[in-house]
């Protein structure tokens, strides 16, 4: 298993003065983050376009702040990407920091939170397309199927949405020479856990730190238990 990247998203009420608010919070950002960058975006641009970006000191993560939401993206290197536990510990620390930043600039409330993870798995001597289609009765196995994917969203704990999209992914490996250039075919998992169900039920929902912990725990369960069970048994249970 290789964890390619994760993303932590928060949505909040529209803030027309996001630039001023982040400048007022400048001192609290020092130590863990590089100097923020205010982007020259016109005031009448769509609210979801980032106005401010902040990068972590080692450059693995970036926080983007728009008028209505925050996105914290992380790409994992070889020191982390083979272990979800390491990624989890890093993400847990950073999510707490990002939540506090967003809560400072949007003290009224936070509408929703969500976590996504992109993971690839190599099953030795196994064709990912054949693995995914073997239990699908509507697929004619006599066809030469090049790519295949499936998608499902379920309700967890009666308040969260958990989504998994499973497909094969052909990833090019940089060759040492033209002779050994190749694409390797992996299983690709795009996983998301969010609390949009609670917001859908109550537009006054204020998403708190307990939700942050719940979503991270739900993601950990999917990554460390459900993926292995799927590979060994062929059934993915969210």
pLDDT, the chain, mean: 90
Point out which residues pair with 152 in neighbouring strands.
164
Q: What is the pLDDT of residue 175?
A: 58
Q: Using one digit for the tens of pLDDT, what is the confidence trace for 81-93?
A: 999 999 999 999 9
CA distance linking residue 231 with residue 164, whole number of Å: 14
Q: How far apart, in whole angstroms, are the C-alpha atoms of residue 35 and residue 205?
A: 32
For 96-153, the pLDDT digits (tens) are 999 999 998 888 899 999 999 999 999 888 999 999 988 777 777 778 889 999 999 9
Which percentage of the chain shows pLDDT scores above 70?
95
At residue 167, the pLDDT reads 96
Please give the pLDDT value at position 109.
92
Residue-level pLDDT at 32? 79
The predicted structure's pLDDT at residue 140: 79
Q: Please name the residue that has the structure tokens 């075919």.
A: 185
> What is the predicted pLDDT for the residue at 235?
83
What's the order of all strands across the beta sheet hosting 2-11?
Answer: 37-38, 52-55, 61-65, 69-75, 2-11, 112-121, 182-194, 160-173, 149-156
pTM above 0.75, yes or no: yes
pLDDT digits (tens, 9 = 90+) for 200-221: 998 888 999 999 999 999 999 9
Residue 182's pLDDT band, with cuts at 50, 70 and 90, is: low
Instruction: Say what the pLDDT of residue 40 is.
Output: 93
**How many percent of the chain have pLDDT more than 90?**
67
Confidence grade of residue 31 (pLDDT, cut at 50, 70, 90): confident
Residue 79, CB-side half-sphere exposure with 13 Å CA sphere:
2
pLDDT in tens, 137-171: 777 777 888 999 999 999 999 999 999 999 999 88
- Which residues does 34 contact at the CB level (< 8 Å), separation at least 6? 54, 55, 56, 57
């Amino acid at each position: 298993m290789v964890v390619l990247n994760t993303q932590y998203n928060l949505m909040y009420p529209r803030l027309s003065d996001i630039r001023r608010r982040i400048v007022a919070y400048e001192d609290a950002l020092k130590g863990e983050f590089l100097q923020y960058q205010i982007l020259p975006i016109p005031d009448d641009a769509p609210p979801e376009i980032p106005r401010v970006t902040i990068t972590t000191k080692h450059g693995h993560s970036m926080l983007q702040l728009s008028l209505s939401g925050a996105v914290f993206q992380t790409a994992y290197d070889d020191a982390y990407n083979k272990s979800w536990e390491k990624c989890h510990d890093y993400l847990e620390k950073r999510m707490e920091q990002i939540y506090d930043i967003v809560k400072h600039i949007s003290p009224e409330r936070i509408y929703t939170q969500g976590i996504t993870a992109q993971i690839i798995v190599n099953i030795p001597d196994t064709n990912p397309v054949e693995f995914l289609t073997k239990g699908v009765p509507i697929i004619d196995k006599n066809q030469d199927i090049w790519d295949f994917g499936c998608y499902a969203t379920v309700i967890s704990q009666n308040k969260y949405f958990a989504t998994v999209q499973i497909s094969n992914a052909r990833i090019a490996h940089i060759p040492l020479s033209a002779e050994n250039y190749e694409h390797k075919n992996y299983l690709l998992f795009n996983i998301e856990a969010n609390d949009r169900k609670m917001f859908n039920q109550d537009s006054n929902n204020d998403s708190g730190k307990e939700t942050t912990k719940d979503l991270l725990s739900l993601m950990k369960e999917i990554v460390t238990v459900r993926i292995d069970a799927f590979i060994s048994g062929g059934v993915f249970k969210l």
